[in-house]
Amino acid sequence: MAVDPALRTVVGRRSEQPAANTNTLSRLAPPPLSAPANLEKLTQLNSAWVARALEQTKSWRIVLDLDSSESPGHGQQEGSSYQGHFGLVCYHPLFCFKHWGACEAAGLRPGHVPSAEGWPQRWAPVVARYRASGLHKYLRAAGACAKPEVYAYLEQEGFGYTLRLPANEVLMRHIDPLLTRPVGRPPKRALVW
């Protein structure tokens, strides 16, 4: 963490010297770092970096990827809980990335929340950033975001989108002929012993 660019910016180090040692990091731990005003400033810092990178980029479109992940918990960490999809005790963060890799937004959530939980709060600042940009805007997201309210929001904001549809019987019946596997390939279902 001592050489992390974000931490070095927060503590005001512009040189190549390490930004922090164990004692410095312990002073950043709660409550100072988790105070609402400080969390807001950290969020704005990421937005400022993304906006600065966008100024340097000559592009006619923006493609955003919205997805969740898992961050394993260790011991009795506050907010970590069992997530059945991942089969472990974890946090379930939600991320929004640009197609060239910049992180637009991120939010740490308890492990038990559904994949798309909290998307409006994470997504709204990103949408506001690109609302008047003149760029063609697109979103890619996992099946958890395939909800009528998400479609309506994206269409209202002028985003094209590609959302994975969750598996269901009707869909599977229609695509089953396309799912035939060549002889010698592994079976369609996982083998469990």
pLDDT tens digits, one per residue of 128-184: 888 887 889 998 988 888 888 888 988 998 989 898 888 889 988 888 877 776 666
At residue 102 the predicted structure's pLDDT band, cuts being 50, 70 and 90, is confident
Sorted by where each begins, the domain ranges of the chain are 59-178
Which is nearest to 123 in space by CA: 65, 73, 179, 58?
65
Q: pLDDT tens-digit profile of 53-72?
A: 667 767 788 888 888 888 88
90 DSSP β-pair partners: 72, 81
Predicted confidence (pLDDT) at residue 14 exceeds the cutoff of 80? no
Element of type H or E holding 8: helix 5-10
Residue tagged 């100024």 (tokens): 55
Amino acid 51 reads: A
Share the mean pLDDT of the chain. Answer: 76
Spatial separation of the C-alpha atoms in residues 139 and 37, rounded to whole Å: 30
* Fold classified for 59-178: Nucleotidyltransferase; domain 5 (3.30.420)
Span 18-39, average pLDDT: 59
pLDDT at 155: 92
